[in-house]
């Protein structure tokens, strides 16, 4: 699930199905402002479940209207009011029938021609896209490998670009070896380990603070706790958010505030936390919402910061903060 950030499409979401077989679907929904209801705009077939989907981070509306999905490969789709069609399939393993599934990806906000993917084969790959700005004619989208690196000792489960250092070259990844590692595209010969889980449990997701690039959040598999890290103080969490009563599945920083984050999990709870009192212990969230099922996704809208989307079972709900 992902919110569109185009100024003319700010009430639009893309959703992916999760069926453990080949045939899956992606649906695009948007708000009908006359009826105040979200309605389906487009649906298309997708091979295998999407591990992530993301609209191009185009805040000015100057790029083609693109949607990327990860699964067996990275795919880039072009959307319009009438249809969604595949623009390109990006495969870095052309000499084999075997593909290492992609666990996640991130689209660089400062340079939308960069996409980074993470894979179970221990690597991260940075792709360069040739999208072309919209200047009256439609150019096909294509891509090439900028770099591929062995990022972890085991599977890599997530990757995210940081807004630090200019916002283009810094990214971090998490994986089955239980570490958070930080990389710089300008100096890929080494990485910095920001954190290692004491029990070496797999870390599933990470998210950078949208306003302060010193902070990021992560959580381990089957963990009820979200860990906040400060890259200036490696290896020591500056906060632990642990009010969930079952495992955490998703985290989303506020797009407009450096001190608010939303967490969601199998306890059916979506919790919003105020972390400005760090490093003092944060006891309780400031807001809580109970859904009718285990929440597996949470996304905070950057164009409509008082809206948070959650997914549970086969439902999408929009929460107003």
Residue 291 lies in a domain: no
| 163-217: pLDDT as tens digits | 887 889 999 999 999 999 999 999 988 899 999 999 999 999 999 999 999 999 9
Residue 50 lies in a domain: yes
Q: 34-39: list long-range contacts, CB under 8 Å, 24+ apart.
A: 38/11, 38/13, 38/316, 38/318
CA 98 to chain centre: 25
Residue 19 lies in a domain: yes
Q: How many domains does the chain have?
A: 1
For residues 148 and 220, the model is more confident at: 220
Chain position carrying tokens 């453990």: 20
- d(C-alpha 212, C-alpha 240), whole Å: 18
- d(C-alpha 211, C-alpha 270), whole Å: 21
Of 64, 66, 168, 155, the closest CA to residue 116 belongs to 168
Q: CATH number of the domain at 139, please.
A: 2.130.10.10
| 44-78: pLDDT as tens digits | 999 999 999 999 999 998 899 999 999 999 999 99
Residue 256 lies in a domain: no
Chain position carrying tokens 């072309």: 132
Here the tokens at position 141 are 């989208």
- The per-residue pLDDT of the chain, averaged, comes to 92
Residue 109 lies in a domain: yes
pLDDT of residue 106 exceeding 50, the answer is: yes
- d(C-alpha 294, C-alpha 316), whole Å: 12
Of 117, 115, 211, 215, the closest CA to residue 168 belongs to 115
Least confident of 31-40, 300-309, 312-321: 31-40
Here the tokens at position 190 are 């080494």
- d(C-alpha 240, C-alpha 114), whole Å: 32
Of 24, 71, 29, 17, the closest CA to residue 45 belongs to 24
Residue 301 lies in a domain: no
Which residue segment(s) compose the domain that 56 sits in?
1-148
With b for 16 or more beta-carbon neighbours within 10 A and e for fewer, the 200-228 pattern comes to eebbbbbbbbbeebebbbbbbeebbebbb
The region, left, alpha or beta by phi > 0 then psi within -120 to 50, assigned to residue 18 is beta
Of the pLDDT bands very low, low, confident and very high (cuts 50, 70, 90), residue 138 is very low
Of the pLDDT bands very low, low, confident and very high (cuts 50, 70, 90), residue 13 is very high
Residue 268 lies in a domain: no
Residue 314 lies in a domain: no
């Amino acid at each position: 699930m992902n919110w569109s950030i185009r100024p003319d499409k700010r009430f639009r979401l893309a959703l992916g199905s999760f069926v453990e077989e080949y045939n899956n679907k992606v649906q695009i929904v948007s708000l009908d402002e006359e009826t105040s209801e979200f309605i389906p705009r487009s649906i298309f077939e997708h091979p295998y479940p999407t591990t992530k989907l993301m609209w191009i981070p185009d805040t000015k509306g100057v790029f083609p209207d693109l949607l990327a999905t990860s699964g067996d490969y990275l795919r880039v789709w072009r959307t319009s009011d009438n249809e969604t069609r595949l623009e390109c399939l990006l495969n870095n393993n052309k000499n084999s029938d075997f593909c290492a599934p992609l666990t996640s990806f991130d689209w660089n906000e400062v340079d939308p021609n960069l996409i980074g993917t993470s894979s179970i084969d221990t690597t991260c790959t940075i792709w360069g896209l040739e999208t072309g700005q919209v200047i009256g004619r439609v150019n096909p989208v294509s891509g090439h490998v900028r770099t591929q690196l062995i990022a972890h000792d085991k599977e890599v489960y997530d990757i995210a670009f940081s807004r630090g250092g200019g916002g283009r070259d810094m990214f971090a990844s998490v994986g089955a070896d239980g570490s958070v590692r930080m990389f710089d595209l300008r100096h890929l010969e080494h990485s910095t380990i920001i954190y290692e889980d004491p029990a070496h449990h797999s870390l599933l997701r990470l998210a950078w603070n949208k306003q302060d690039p010193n902070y990021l959040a992560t959580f381990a598999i089957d963990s009820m706790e979200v860990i906040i890290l400060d890259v200036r103080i490696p290896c020591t969490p500056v906060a632990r958010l642990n009010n969930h009563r079952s495992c955490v599945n998703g985290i989303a920083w506020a797009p407009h505030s450096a001190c608010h984050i939303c967490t969601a999990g199998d306890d059916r709870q979506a919790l919003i936390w105020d972390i400005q009192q760090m490093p003092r212990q944060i006891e309780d969230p400031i807001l809580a919402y109970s859904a009718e099922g285990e929440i597996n996704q949470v996304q905070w809208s950057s164009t409509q910061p008082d809206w948070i989307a959650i997914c549970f079972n086969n439902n999408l709900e929009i929460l107003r903060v």
